[in-house]
Amino acid sequence: MMDLFSQIEEPEREELKRLRKELEEANYKYYVLNMPTLSDREFDEKMHRLQALEAQYPDMFDPKSPTQHVGSDLDKGQRTKDKGQNGKGFETVKHKYPMLSLANSYSREEIEEWVRKLPSGVEIVCELKYDGLSISLWYENGQLVRALTRGDGQQGDDVIANIKTIPSIPWKIERNDIPAFFELRGEVLLPWERFEALNKEREEQEEPLFANPRNAASGTLKLQDPREVARRGLDAYLYYMLGEDLPGTTHFERLETAKEWGFHISDAIKVCKNVDEVMAYIAYWDTERKNLPVATDGIVLKVNNLTQQEELGFTAKTPRWAIAYKFPAEKQLTLLKEITYQVGRTGVVTPVANLEPVQLSGTIVQRATLHNEDFIKSLDIRPGDRVWVEKGGEIIPKIVGRADREETSDPRIPRTPSFPSCCPECGTPLIRVEGEAAWRCPNEAGCPPQIKGKIEHFVSRKAMNIDGLGEETIDLLFRQGLLHNIADIYDLKLEDIAAQERLGEKSAQNMLDGIEASKRVPWARVLFALGIRMVGETTAKKIARVYHSIDSLQWATAEQLCAIEDVGPQIAENIVAYFNDIRNLEILERLRQAGLQFEGEAAEEPQSDKLAGMSIVISGTFAQHSRDEYKAMIEAHGGKNVGSVSKKTSFILAGENMGPEKRKKAEDLGIKMISEEEFLQML
């Protein structure tokens, strides 16, 4: 009989183990990688299930369980106390008071249940829950001496040099009425305006975008260069004071005192007497928060009386005198007015939803990608439908479904029966390669978006790097008939450019100087700039090492090209097809006459063989060198740059905000990840 019961219990025991593993991984990705994989609600549901299972099976108690501690954001590779903020990590310091997380609630019923457990007549302070990175500020004799992250709740990383770049945090309090020591806790934030500007910068530099302001703030606060931290424009809101001999007997009084001392305390704080007042506060800010300059994701409720807080005490990981109410994921129903179709540089046609403007996560959303024909069919959406748009903390809005068509559709909006069969820009019949989801326009030489896209690629930073020829200028010169292909760039004249709207003679001369300088760009980058499909920057370098001139490359066969490292049959066929097109040969001849570098010297000998035979993936952002510089270092020391993680990967050079998919695959395959500092030490 006991064996039978054991067999029945076994699945739940396995579930308990699985939930512990899932929640530990989710904590790691949220606190350390700044790449959350679960919504707050999903995380809490799994946590509640784990707590129930642990209560059911007390023999499986484990002090390391996620139910017994908070997640950790410690700088895991650099925990030694003698490493300060000098490019080698952050000093880890024990908190004077544990920094615990809050229990979450999602409904009025849960709020009412929490209130029922409190002493009768208790006052509750309601505050906005800012979505940033928790920080603990230590002041001794009015001087800021420590700034600790939450870490694992017991100890945190001291990021004081970066915190001192935030204007709203005072370095010194010049008053006679302050205690010898006090601690203020709060949230470090990146305002929406600065977040959007930072992501625009990163997009222009071909770096991965931050998913949301919290990730951006967290990544910024862990940078090793305070100058870069200062440039990004962090802010902070403070919400709790700790220490001995502090003024006031209530939480609200202490916040008012902190405000008098010069600290940045939110004005959106209210003392409530009952649940109805609490829910009214929540209802007001659920709408009004969308007009705030910073991200919020809920409301924090705290017992106001400090003596009552002390009497209520703590659980293993949360205070009993406080709880967070989490707003539901940002999702709005809006009208799909029209589906338009964009054509990219390679001819791929992407459908775009044009929406009735709707506010989500602090921004107005009017457009969202629909990816491809299969995506539209899977959601069964058409113009005139009411569709659900969601951000969920992410920067890119997405359509996640539609409302009932009979009840909500707008009959006045014309329907689009199917995906277009011809290019919306040039009218050429579209083609769809077997096995691919995208429809493509094959008219490379005559389709305006493809022509302009190829020119934009040609002049980009990693290609010919021609200043002054941005997207708007290229469009203007194309419409004026001055640019039809990349060779036309070298025929531009000062008077033709200067005559254009918004340009003028000075801009024209700067552009011509950039065009002249591009004639010195080396052969490998010229090859990349040509925009041959699937020939990226790294592949172009490898081809240029084997074929030292465009003349030798032009006559290479597909079989010969496949002998080059990382050049597969499809890339080889694309290169052969490029040189078989008479229009491309005419453009190449014009570029040769203009003086571009169509020859290169044989590859330089490696500086060393320290990385010989190693395949290395670079992921994330770095403080001391750019990604391009690290790629060059790897090649100079005999290593091979690869773009994706596989069993053949030797290690990953991992920077800030490493891609979550690459990290997961690396963990699954047991691939080593090394930091920027460790890599430089290797060399």
CA–CA separation, 120 vs 371, rounded Å? 55
Closest C-alpha to 361, from 393, 401, 326, 327: 393
CA–CA separation, 504 vs 53, rounded Å? 73
306's tokens: 């400090």
Contact 289, 296 (CB under 8 A): yes
Q: Which residues contact 61 (CB under 8 A, 6 or more apart)?
A: 54
Q: How many residues does the chain have?
A: 683
User: Helix or strand or coil: residue 78?
Assistant: coil
Closest C-alpha to 365, from 396, 392, 321, 394: 396
Closest C-alpha to 79, from 69, 65, 89, 94: 89
Q: Return the DSSP state at 428.
A: P
CA–CA separation, 69 vs 64, rounded Å? 7
Side chain identity, residue 126 = C
Q: Is 129 a catalytic residue?
A: yes
**Cα separation values, 262 from 168, 255, 265, 343, 657, Å:** 9, 11, 9, 53, 33
**Sheet order of strands, 270-272 included:** 104-105, 322-326, 296-303, 124-130, 270-272
**Cα separation values, 581 from 92, 226, 483, 682, Å:** 62, 52, 20, 46
* Torsion 267-273-277-279 (CA) sign: positive
Contact 348, 440 (CB under 8 A): yes
Beta strand ranges found along 395-451 (DSSP E): 398-402, 439-440
In DSSP terms, 343 is beta-bridged to 349
User: Helix or strand or coil: residue 582?
Assistant: helix
Catalytic residue, candidates 29, 46, 129, 541: 129
- Catalytically annotated residues: 129
